[in-house]
Amino acid sequence: MRMGNIFTSLCFMSKLWSKNDDDDDDDDDVSCCNVHFSGGNVNLITTKENWEQKIEEARNDNKIVVANFSASWCSPCKMIAPFYCELSEKQPSLTFLVVDVDELSELSSLWEVKATPTFFFIKDGKKFDSLLGANKTELQNKITAIVDSETPPCQS
């Protein structure tokens, strides 16, 4: 089972999805699903080109990227996937990505991923912070701090 399968089934059960017609096997594989959100979302990165496109889009939109490097066999990755999805819906000002380290091993090596899950926080294409492991509290705290630092103070 590939990361797309795991992440889709764990994270998007209540979301609207449709199976890709090019998927001819009979094993209920949902890795080729298109997931539609009303609000935030998690983008499944399947190619290096797709990664570069999303990083460039975020740079052009002045958005911070939260990149989750995970693996389909990783229990902590499976555990944090629904929470990561919730965060993406609550924080649409950020771009949320998920990368399967086995599917994109070259990209994972380039980013020096040593364990899964590893979360990278990226601004203007450059890493400014990271988090190793599936600690929900730490992930929430880092994302809250990022959003708070990006929000201008209220003018009275």
Catalytic center residues: 74, 77
Provide CB contacts within 8 A for 98, sequence distance 6+: 3, 7, 42, 43, 44, 45, 67, 68, 70, 81, 84
Q: State the amino acid at position 61 in one-letter form.
A: D
From the CB of residue 50, how many other CB atoms can be counted at a distance below 10 Å?
16
Q: Which residues contact 146 (CB under 8 A, 6 or more apart)?
A: 64, 94, 121
Separation between Cα atoms, residue 64 and residue 141, nearest integer Å: 15
Q: 40 to each of 23, 49, 90, 126, 152, how far by Cα in Å?
A: 26, 22, 7, 22, 21
